[in-house]
Structure 1
């Protein structure tokens, strides 16, 4: 049971970490590029430089076990989102320049409401004992973990972030333009290849997640973005000379574009089509 005073962002991140596909991908992402590090030393191992959409099906969303069944998940920080008076106040709170929309798309009018969220940290500590019990409850043996994995800690840090939100009369956002410090990760030390190969032996790993794990390596600072394959389409684009990912519903009622530049992720989303969100993104100041 969640504590009644737990902040909504912490509940959201905890839910993401416990969602099936995100659980496996999170472990892979935060360990990507990890070399052997001194025990108990926090070593930077990952910094988001690009985003890669990963198509997932409904079956994948229930195929993997709860990450907390394999160790402890502790989420701290992430105060907000909270409304601030204007863009200047948002920058003062986060240190981030708030994107300025020069030309609003059709159906969007007025001034935005500005919100900020603080830096958030999620730390996962792997427990071979807990993982063994979870596997036994599932009726399957747990493969022996590689040396050094038991008690291994990985820490994912994201934020702070800012957003400008234009609402429709019904209260649903018509346009959201946000910016945040992209996720980065640190490790207390274990070779990435060992962890990857071990994760690939776990029962119930969907083919898509397994393929992604195999593709990850020290040279790719790529953050996977799970996208329901049956409901959304993805495509490539360029925003200010930077590679971007466009996501849109198949009925073209919602769309978003997201890109990473200099360790900062920017996103434009709304009740628009792909061409419209791209036009807003390319016109940002």
Structure 2
């Protein structure tokens, strides 16, 4: 016998609820108390799973890599472009040029994986080893070291899905979003699109410290000794937990066992991404480029709420969909409050921890052996190099930054 009554939401309302469309907050409470609606929602979930399984045979065998996407986008842009566009005047907003998009795999990974790095940074910022961090849950995370976290194409996709799901647990906002919710990767893209061409001195003023340049004698043959300098503005991502919104989301996605305690309600994670300067050295006879990136430290704070640091860590690491192997790597990181995890796709990139310009860092080398990148921290600043050259040649340039 069907116990659904006229006071129950109809099937259309439940479909909208499962699709996370706007709905009264009372629907989640109604579902908990109504066996008839519980059966109806279960049937709708089964139907959706069946349809999803049927459609899955149409899916590609694998998703394109970040490098393949960059190449495809470049081909599309080249076909659309009737003629070469004139260089915009100094100080105007401009997109990152195609020569950067054509650079080797590690650099493209560093750009396309920014959102994944952010969510990993959020999680690592609340993953204390031992009980020392429990003394103050407002302890600040500052990116003073770097370490590699190995990811696969599947775990990359899972990280992105988990990052995007944060919007279902509360609100994500950035300055200039006019109060509207945004996705973290959209905020990152927005900052990159606001890159401006400036002088070296002006870029140093923007980032807050004097920029370093390599010894010109170490630059690859054919590269211009004078770099084109761009600066990207700082930006901030604020994520505020909403208990009722999170409860409804976990119920609608079949995870009623996941509970956001009342103490989390109103707590805000604040991720501050610093301004960054990019020095681009170009080869006039080819489209090869060498990029030198410099920025301050990424900082994560907690504001409001009544949640402690260990509780925040436990909840974030228990979120459905986060890859277990990634979580395991994060838990093994020592000095959690000063280590920035860098996602490294192990199917595309070889990596090693090494000394760069006298500091601990990461050296990345793509599987083609014609592209490499290096990332390290020194003196309160983050540095990165990437280019279409061998790792040994890149290291020679990196070690002369002064």
TM-score by length of 2: 0.60
Whether the 8 Å CA contact 2:170–2:239 is kept in 1: the answer is yes
2:329 alignment partner in structure 1: 212
Whether the 8 Å CA contact 1:99–1:178 is kept in 2: the answer is no
* 2:205 is aligned with 1:92: yes
Seen in structure 2, the aligned counterparts of structure 1 residues 194 and 55 have a Cα distance that, compared at 3 Å, is: same
Alpha-carbon RMSD across the aligned residues, in angstroms, is 2.8
Q: Which has the higher contact order (CA 8 A, sep 6+)?
A: 1
How far 1:96 sits from its partner (Å)? 2.2
Which of 109, 113, 118 is matched with 2:228 structurally? Answer: 113
Where does 1:3-152 land on structure 2 (aligned, <5 Å)?
Answer: 21-22=116-117, 24-32=119-127, 35=134, 43=138, 45-63=140-158, 64-65=161-162, 66=164, 67-76=166-175, 78=191, 80-84=194-198, 86-102=199-215, 103=217, 104-152=219-267
SS in 1 for 2:167: helix
Seen in structure 2, the aligned counterparts of structure 1 residues 98 and 73 have a Cα distance that, compared at 3 Å, is: same
Whether the 8 Å CA contact 1:200–1:213 is kept in 2: the answer is no
Whether the 8 Å CA contact 1:37–1:188 is kept in 2: the answer is no
Q: Which moved more, 1:228-237 or 1:171-180?
A: 171-180
Whether the 8 Å CA contact 2:364–2:374 is kept in 1: the answer is yes
How far 1:152 sits from its partner (Å)? 1.1
1:3 alignment partner in structure 2: none
How far 1:181 sits from its partner (Å)? 0.5
How far 1:109 sits from its partner (Å)? 2.7
In the alignment, structure 1 segments of 5+ residues that lack a partner are: 1-6, 10-14
| Distance in 2 of aligned mates of 1:184 and 1:248 | 28
Seen in structure 2, the aligned counterparts of structure 1 residues 260 and 143 have a Cα distance that, compared at 3 Å, is: same
| Distance in 2 of aligned mates of 1:76 and 1:157 | 11
More helix by share: 2
SS in 2 for 1:148: helix
How far 1:51 sits from its partner (Å)? 0.7
1:227 alignment partner in structure 2: 344
Aligned residue pairs total 267
Which of 348, 367, 377 is matched with 1:260 structurally? Answer: 377
In the alignment, structure 2 segments of 5+ residues that lack a partner are: 1-93, 97-111, 177-190
Seen in structure 2, the aligned counterparts of structure 1 residues 81 and 215 have a Cα distance that, compared at 3 Å, is: same
SS in 2 for 1:31: coil
* 2:318 is aligned with 1:201: yes
Q: Which moved more, 1:206-215 or 1:224-233?
A: 206-215
Whether the 8 Å CA contact 1:146–1:198 is kept in 2: the answer is no
| Distance in 1 of aligned mates of 2:383 and 2:363 | 12
SS in 2 for 1:260: strand
